[in-house]
Amino acid sequence: MANVKTLGFGSRLGVWVQGCTIGCKGCCTVESWDSGLGKKLSVDAVIAWTQTHLKACDGLTLSGGEPSEQPQAVLELIRAFKQHWRDSDVLLYSGRSYRYLLKNHRELTESCDILICGPFVQNRPTLALRGSDNQTIHLQTKLAQQRYGDLSDHQNGRQFHIGKNGALAVGIAEKMRIREIITEENHHG
């Protein structure tokens, strides 16, 4: 998806990979768990699509599903993306710990500017760019330090995209705000 503005710096390309075996309770993308679903896309096709559809791109956000369950393809995508979009940063969301990623997928881990790691834990509060406050942020490059060093620049929010296959909400929802909205609606209902 192009022009993602709620999951990282600026206006970004968002790629959600299919397949996740972690199974966090309360995951809001359960439809991404089954690795057999979805459409296969080559790295070349993704990069060609960005060249046709994007005039500028501040970064690539990878989420899922679990990106580390397709480590080679995701690494190739990051490398190709960086070749074409040189001033962009790469932000990767993973439900695995940073230590696990470094141990098992070092090349992939080191290819990212910033990683946000750890499983989603329902009922824990959200923080900037994070669905639950146990998730850790790892700034690995100077560019990441510049863009994400001050997290007050990254307020959570949702962006809605209406497409042929239905509506898509992109971003981190503030749990308190959703509860407040539901309470408000119930109150007025």
- Euclidean distance between the first and final Cα of the chain, in Å? 35
Q: What H or E segment, with its residue span, contains residue 102?
A: helix 98-104
According to the binding rule CB under 6 A, does residue 23 interact with ligand SF4? yes
Residue 86 C-beta: closest distance to ligand SF4, Å: 29
Determine if 170 is a binding residue for ligand SF4 (CB under 6 A): no
Smallest distance from the beta carbon of 67 to ligand SF4, in angstroms?
Answer: 10
Span from 61-69, 72-80, 101-109, 163-171 in contact with ligand SF4 (CB under 6 A)? 61-69
- List 7, 15, 17, 24, residue binding ligand SF4 (CB under 6 A): 24
In the block, tokens 């209902």 appear at 189
16 binds ligand SF4 (CB under 6 A): no
Residue 77 to residue 60: CA distance in whole angstroms: 10
Token duo for residue 182:
């539901």
The number of angstroms, rounded, from the C-alpha of 176 to the middle of its chain's C-alpha atoms is 21
Shortest distance (Å) from residue 108 CB to ligand SF4: 15
Q: Three-class SS of residue 177?
A: helix
Contact flag: residue 95 with ligand SF4 (CB under 6 A): yes
Alpha-carbon dihedral 151, 157, 162, 165, rounded to 10 degrees: 70
User: Closest distance between ligand SF4 and the C-beta of residue 65, in Å?
Assistant: 6
Pick 34 or 44: Cβ nearer ligand SF4:
34
Which of 119, 122, 117 is closest to 105 using CA atoms?
117
Judged by beta carbon, residue 30 or residue 176, the one nearer ligand SF4 is 30
Which is nearer to ligand SF4, 29 or 42 (by Cβ)? 29
Q: Is 169 in the site for ligand SF4 (CB under 6 A)?
A: no
The whole-angstrom separation of Cα 61 and Cα 43 is 15
Q: What are phi and psi of 186, to 5 degrees?
A: -60, -40
Which residue's beta carbon is nearest to the bound ligand SF4? Answer: 95
Any bridge partners for residue 126, and if so which? Answer: none
Site residues (vs ligand SF4, CB under 6 A): 20, 22-24, 27, 29, 32, 64-66, 95, 119-120
